[in-house]
């Protein structure tokens, strides 16, 4: 059955009519044409579909779009500020952390939430946080190094009193609201 819903994505409100059984991933990609969020396993196993829901990384293949109506959704398209990429995107490019690139949007979204909360994570903390984001290409070393490089730059900016890019990632709400979802970290695999 078709439903009219409003979705707030990267700060923009979209008033759309969608099939009630569509997942958030499907609506983002097919109805809003935000194809940065990737379609992987659709089983909650790979993390390619990761988006932020009220600042928390979640798997958009496991969430109905209807259930995201009252939340703020953040996708990889929202990481850049206009033509200025997020530090993570710069570091991924510089260090070759994207091979085929299919896992990169999910990795970037998860890592952006991590740096918002912890701008100087240890390598083990990065591994733990990204445990739900799988890469099928050449391993995780370049990804970890890129996140560390971005973290160093974010920390330098903060120390210099400059606005750092993780401020574009919405903070977690003070009060609980939105669908009852578990964060994705630690659900599967190991980075
Ligand atoms: S597509 Fe959602 S976890 Fe794989
Ligand atoms: S870069 Fe290809 S799946 Fe990660």
Binding site membership of 110 for ligand 1 (Cβ less than 6 Å): no
In the three-class reduction of DSSP (H, G, I as helix; E, B as strand; rest coil), residue 143 is classed as helix
Binding site membership of 44 for ligand 1 (Cβ less than 6 Å): yes
Q: What is the pLDDT of residues 33-70, one digit of tens each?
A: 999 999 999 999 999 999 999 999 999 999 999 999 99
CA 16 – ligand 2 centroid, Å: 32
Give, for ligand 2, the residue of 40, 102, 106, 133 to mutate: max count of ligand atoms closer than 8 Å to Cβ.
102
Task: Look at residue 165 in the predicted model and tell me its pLDDT.
Answer: 55
For residue 123, pLDDT beyond 80: yes
The ligand whose atoms approach the alpha carbon of 62 most closely is 1
The ligand whose atoms approach the alpha carbon of 142 most closely is 2
Is the whole model's pTM more than 0.95, yes or no?
Answer: no
- Beta-bridged to residue 73, according to DSSP, are 9, 53
Between CA 82 and CA 11 the distance in angstroms is: 13
Domains of the chain and CATH, by start? 2-78 (3.10.20.30), 87-168 (1.10.150.120)
Identify whether the C-beta of residue 62 lies closer than 8 Å to the C-beta of residue 152: no
CA 104 – ligand 1 centroid, Å: 13
Q: What is the pLDDT of residues 150-170, one digit of tens each?
A: 999 988 888 888 765 554 566
* DSSP label at residue 104: H
For residue 110, pLDDT beyond 70: yes
Binding site membership of 137 for ligand 2 (Cβ less than 6 Å): yes
For residue 187, pLDDT beyond 90: no
Task: Look at residue 56 in the predicted model and tell me its pLDDT.
Answer: 95
Give, for ligand 1, the residue of 27, 37, 44, 110 to mutate: max count of ligand atoms closer than 8 Å to Cβ.
44
CA 114 – ligand 1 centroid, Å: 19
Binding site membership of 98 for ligand 2 (Cβ less than 6 Å): yes
For residue 118, pLDDT beyond 80: yes
Give the torsion sign (CA, 170, 171, 174, 179).
Answer: positive
């Amino acid at each position: 059955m078709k439903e009219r819903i409003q979705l707030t994505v990267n700060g923009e409100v979209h008033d759309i009519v969608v099939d009630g059984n569509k997942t958030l991933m499907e609506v983002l990609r097919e109805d809003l044409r935000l194809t940065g969020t990737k379609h992987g396993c659709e089983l909650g196993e790979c993390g390619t579909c990761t988006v932020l829901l009220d600042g928390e990384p979640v798997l958009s293949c496991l969430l109905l779009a209807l259930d995201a109506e009252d939340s703020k959704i953040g996708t990889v398209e929202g990481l850049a500020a206009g033509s200025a990429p997020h530090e993570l995107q710069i570091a991924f490019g510089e260090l070759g952390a994207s091979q085929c690139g299919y896992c990169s949007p999910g990795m970037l979204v998860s890592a952006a939430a991590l740096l918002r909360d912890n701008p100087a994570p240890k390598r083990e903390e990065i591994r733990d946080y990204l445990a739900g984001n799988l890469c099928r290409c050449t391993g995780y070393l370049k990804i970890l190094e890129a996140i560390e490089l971005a973290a160093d730059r974010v920390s330098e900016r903060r120390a210099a009193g400059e606005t750092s890019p993780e401020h574009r990632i919405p903070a977690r709400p003070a009060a609980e609201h939105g669908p009852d979802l578990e964060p994705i970290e630690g659900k599967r695999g190991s980075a």
